[in-house]
Structure 1
Amino acid sequence: MSNPGDGPEQHQAPLIEHLIELRSRLLRAVVAVLVIFLGLYAFANDIYLFVAQPLMALLPEGSQMIATEVASPFLAPFKLTLVAAVFIAVPYVLHQAWAFVAPGLYDNEKALAIPILASSVLLFYAGAAFAYYAVFPLLFEFFTQTGPENVTVMTDINAYLNFVLKLFFAFGMAFEIPIATFLLIASGATTVESLSKKRPYVVLGCFVVGMLLTPPDVISQSLLAIPMYLLYEVGLLFGRLARRKKERREVEDDS
């Protein structure tokens, strides 16, 4: 029999408290991004020059980057600085998300979630760094040397920014494959053996994703697809290690 004091107001109270906490966490995340953005804005042009360096270093003599729109000299560095602020604030934003959901998790779930979150952030950063230091030099060298002889390369700064941000995001997400593979195995949704048998389809899928997420050239597609497949194998390796650890723990519990 229900307590007469358990009215709709009392049932709604926990929901309201959760919504208030969610608003607080979101506000903290937004403030963190804005604070970092304000700190970086004075260096907006320097940040843009840093991101544009892989292309500028390969431009033919007499070529330069240009702005074809009136507001591009302001908007392109502004946009990049905002993206950089979000990029830097990701650990704090994830910490706020973790603080919101952690009270509802079991201890074993917390023990698994913390390394997964940390690994996800590091892998995303690693993917962006791989794109900048390994992919961009090869890609831009190919683009700047394959054009017609009488065509002068003068890339628009806004078009270049959209191009590299797309690649940063594509490689950052691609480097999350080990996490996704591990979670599929750990959750029981699939097995290491099943995923191992699907290698030919995975290879094909990696190149299809590379084709969709990168510019329409074989070099950039391969530079994304090959690391994706290697990271898939890394995920399988960690899945095997986790399964052996689980089996060892079960044997110890039975003995």
Structure 2
Amino acid sequence: MPKSARKKERDPEGRMPLADHLRELRNRLAKGVLAILVVTIVAAFFYKDIIDFVTRPILDEIGCDQSFGELAKSKNVHCAHITVSGLLAPFTLALKVALTAGVVLASPVWLYQLWAFVAPGLHRKEKKYAYAFVGFGAPLFVGGGYLAFNVLPTTARVMIDLTPTGAENLLPLDDLLDLVTRMIVVFGLAFEMPLLLVMLNLTGVLSGKRMLGWWRGMVVGITAFAAIATPSPDPMTMLALASPIWALFFIAVAFSLLNDRRRARRDAGGPGDDEASELDLTPDAIGEVESVTASTAPELPGSERVNGYDDIT
């Protein structure tokens, strides 16, 4: 059967047999993996530039280059030597950086493939919420990652200053990259928490009043999370992560309270013009059945015969 004919036979609601679902999943996974592979190969040629871009803010703060080393000795400021240990370490490092860049930079492709596989099974309202989640979630994640990228140099300076006098810091480059990646992911996901609360409110799972009642616990929990997520004991670094999440949480609470008020007004006003009213399906009590008598039965036509027949034909 031609491919165009198969497309025409597809159910308009996206329903298809299990074998077709598995075949479509395989094709979309193949496209996503191919995109990651292509970007990874391209990124492998620029892995040194990628490493320099990721680590440059931290190295400018704590790196022991020649100029900084002289300044560190004169002012008794600690610095760190970036190291790569092992014969195969440069190769594995380049492979890790290229693969990470491939997954991140190819994310629009494989996320689209994932969405194209899931979207046909969603209702119109669910699609609207999904679009809103992606539309607001991506900037929030980028904002959290950008904040982590700017906080890391200060964090590194505080940690290096804890070095005892006379000791020298040797910082493996792969550990530094892992730290940068982990901090960006943690900060980005932390910024998604208020959006998740808003989505739960829009779906009717969580009310704004209940969220407002959690504000003391949320403030303490966010503070504890920021203290654990940031490796630095510096309180300024912890506040740099906790303060934006506090603000986003209270913005989510305010939005949820307004949405609950709007929903209450809508319910009080009854269904809209395009909404079906609720049906009262409560059964009524059955009264006594009146017997059909001859007096209540309809009268039958007369029995007069016309031309030998009972009725006029």
Which residue of 2 is the match for residue 14 of structure 1?
Answer: 17
Aligned pair partner of 1:166 in 154, 166, 182: 182
1:173 Cα deviation (Å)?
A: 0.6
Unaligned 5+ residue runs, structure 2?
A: 1-15, 70-79, 274-313
User: Which deviations, in whole Å up to 9, do the C-alpha atoms of 1:87-138 show, x marking residues without a partner?
Assistant: 22223222212111111112122122112123222222221111112x1122
- On the 8 A contact 2:155/2:232 being kept in 1, the answer is no
1:45 Cα deviation (Å)?
A: 0.8
Q: RMSD in angstroms over aligned alpha carbons?
A: 2.3
- Which segment drifts farther, 16-25 or 138-147? 138-147
Which one-letter code corresponds to 1:98 in the other structure? W
- Which segment drifts farther, 91-100 or 245-254? 245-254
Q: Does 1:112 align with 2:129?
A: yes
- The whole-number CA distance in structure 2 between the counterparts of 1:143 and 1:200 is 30
Which residue of 1 is the match for residue 168 of structure 2?
Answer: 152
- The whole-number CA distance in structure 1 between the counterparts of 2:33 and 2:49 is 24
What is the TM-score when the length of structure 1 is the normalising length?
0.84
Q: How many aligned residue pairs are there?
A: 242
- On the 8 A contact 1:210/1:224 being kept in 2, the answer is yes
What is the TM-score when the length of structure 2 is the normalising length?
0.70
Aligned pair partner of 1:83 in 97, 100, 105: 100
> Which structure has the higher relative contact order (CA within 8 Å, separation 6+)?
1
- The whole-number CA distance in structure 2 between the counterparts of 1:96 and 1:244 is 38
User: Which deviations, in whole Å up to 9, do the C-alpha atoms of 1:13-51 show, x marking residues without a partner?
Assistant: 711111111111111111111111112111101101111
1:24 aligned counterpart, secondary structure:
helix
1:248 Cα deviation (Å)?
A: 6.0
Which one-letter code corresponds to 1:112 in the other structure? Y
Q: Does 1:131 align with 2:134?
A: no
Which one-letter code corresponds to 2:58 in the other structure? L
Which residue of 1 is the match for residue 57 of structure 2?
Answer: 54
State the identity as a percent: 29
- Which segment drifts farther, 119-128 or 70-79? 70-79
Which residue of 1 is the match for residue 38 of structure 2?
Answer: 35
- Which segment drifts farther, 150-159 or 240-249? 240-249
- On the 8 A contact 2:82/2:173 being kept in 1, the answer is yes
Q: Does 1:95 align with 2:112?
A: yes
1:214 Cα deviation (Å)?
A: 3.3
Say which structure is richer in helix.
1
1:154 aligned counterpart, secondary structure:
strand
